[in-house]
Amino acid sequence: MTAAVTEVAVTGVGVVLPGLNEPGGLPHGPVAGAAPVDPAALIGKKGLRFKDRATQLGLCMAKAALTDAGLLGPRGLLVPGDRVGVVVSSNLGNADTVCRAVATIAEENTGALSPMDTPNASSNIIASEIAIRFGLRGPNLTVCNGVTSGLDALRWARLTLRSGRADHMVVAGVEPDNDITRRLTGARMVDGGAAVVVGRTDAVGAAGPRLLLGPSLRTEKLPDCAARLADAASGPARDAAAGLWLGAGPSAVPPGAESADLSGWGECSGALGLLQCATAVAWADSGRTEPVYALLGGADGEASGTVWTPPERAV
């Protein structure tokens, strides 16, 4: 089976959640009694000091996804680093550093600040630290786009790959849980997330495709996005009932279709789109061949959506 045009596919996945490190368990919801993720236990203590929580979690999931994609071995990257880029989706990653700093200045002065916090004041810290740790010299992006960020990050990764700026992109969605993020969102945060590696199917060193990424849709309202997604499916998948719907309200899921609910993991914000994608990879890995429809959007706000297809269905 050869595609006429270069496709973009997920080739690796990494899940970093309390009590869960593989995508298959995502639809079952949180693991009872699980302790918070311990990054040092996952990737070792070296290099974690002074990094904020979101960056530590991001490094863990990037390592897991790169390893799963066969791009990272015990001695480092197995493909040229200038052809591998990074997209991180995070809305609240450095909110704690920023708020703590401004409170310290108000209570004392700048002399009381820790200089080690300096890099964390910049919102692109997670993506740049992933690049530094694994030697990824391709395009390096941080998407902070509210509720749709995770699916948007995948959109930009796919665009960057199709335009030839890179062969592989690590796409990570991560949000930390702390007092500041809880007060800001009014909810317990996911304190973790997921990463995938997406690549051009013609790229050197690419593992077998696990899930094909379709084009992205953007609409003014969430229900329009759901309707257009159902229409966008082609061929045998035209019957939208045969598939998995993620992020759609019950009324938007076509009768007979399956759906999964990831809301039990806490407020996921920028991590949600990547948790959806990881769920879709598990769906395809389990042998399901029907497409996965993913949606993100606020009640009255704009929405992003896409269709992911298990590779067996690709024509």
Partner 1 sequence: MSFPITGIGAVTSIGDDPDEIFTSLCEGRSGLGPLRGFDAERFTARQLFEIDDRTGDGDEPGRATRFLVEAVRQAVADAGLPDDLGGIPVLVGTGLRELRSLELWWRDGAPFTADGLDFGPALRRRFGAYDAHTFAGACSASLYALALGWDMLEQGETDTVIVAGCDTVTESMFGLADRVQFDPPALVRPFDRERQGTILGEGAAAIVLRREPAAGRPVRGWLRSVAVNCDAYHQTAPDADGVRASIEQAQAAAGSRPEDIDLVVLHATGTPLNDRTEAEVVAEVFDGARPAFTGIKALTGHTSGSAGLMSLIVALRSVESGRVPPIANLTDPLPEGEGLRLVSDRPLTTPVRVAQVNGFGFGGVNAVAIVAGAA
Using CB under 8 A as the binding rule, whether residue 142 contacts partner 1 is answered as yes
- For 83, phi then psi, to 5°, come to -105, 10
Q: How many whole angstroms separate alpha carbon 110 and alpha carbon 102?
A: 9
Using CB under 8 A as the binding rule, whether residue 227 contacts partner 1 is answered as no
Considering the complex, state which of residue 180 and residue 230 has its C-beta at the smaller distance from partner 1.
180
Considering the complex, state which of residue 29 and residue 223 has its C-beta at the smaller distance from partner 1.
223
**Strand (E) positions, 152-210?**
168-175, 192-200
Considering the complex, state which of residue 156 and residue 283 has its C-beta at the smaller distance from partner 1.
156
Using CB under 8 A as the binding rule, whether residue 269 contacts partner 1 is answered as yes
Using CB under 8 A as the binding rule, whether residue 2 contacts partner 1 is answered as no
Using CB under 8 A as the binding rule, whether residue 288 contacts partner 1 is answered as no
Contact residue for partner 1 among 139, 176, 243, 305 (CB under 8 A): 139
| Burial class of residue 223, CB neighbours in 10 A (0-12, 13-18, 19+) | middle
Contact residue for partner 1 among 3, 184, 207, 242 (CB under 8 A): 184
287 dihedral zone (left: phi>0; alpha: psi -120 to 50; beta) = left
Q: Are 228 and 217 in contact (CB under 8 A)?
A: yes
Q: How far is CA 36 from CA 17, 32, 100, 183, in A?
A: 8, 12, 22, 19
86 dihedral zone (left: phi>0; alpha: psi -120 to 50; beta) = beta
Bridge partner residues of 76 (DSSP): 73
Q: Which of 170, 166, 173 is nearest to 144 (CA)?
A: 173
Using CB under 8 A as the binding rule, whether residue 289 contacts partner 1 is answered as no
Considering the complex, state which of residue 47 and residue 256 has its C-beta at the smaller distance from partner 1.
47
Q: How far is CA 51 from CA 4, 94, 184, in A?
A: 44, 10, 21
Considering the complex, state which of residue 147 and residue 257 has its C-beta at the smaller distance from partner 1.
147
Altogether, the residues listed in the chain come to a count of 315
Extract the tokens encoding 307: 């269709």
Using CB under 8 A as the binding rule, whether residue 123 contacts partner 1 is answered as yes
Instruction: State the nearest-atom distance from the C-beta of 24 to partner 1, in Å.
Output: 30
Contacts with partner 1, 83-122, as mask; x by CB under 8 A: --xx----xx-xx-xxx-xxxxxx-xxxx-xxx-xxx-xx
Extract the tokens encoding 141: 């992006």
Query: Which range touches partner 1 (CB under 8 A), out of 2-10, 68-76, 134-142, 190-198?
Result: 134-142
Using CB under 8 A as the binding rule, whether residue 298 contacts partner 1 is answered as yes
Using CB under 8 A as the binding rule, whether residue 223 contacts partner 1 is answered as no
Instruction: State the nearest-atom distance from the C-beta of 231 to partner 1, in Å.
Output: 17
Site residues for partner 1 per CB under 8 A: 81-82, 85-86, 91-92, 94-95, 97-99, 101-106, 108-111, 113-115, 117-119, 121-125, 127-129, 131-132, 134-147, 152, 156, 159-160, 162-163, 165, 180, 184-185, 218-220, 269, 298, 301-302
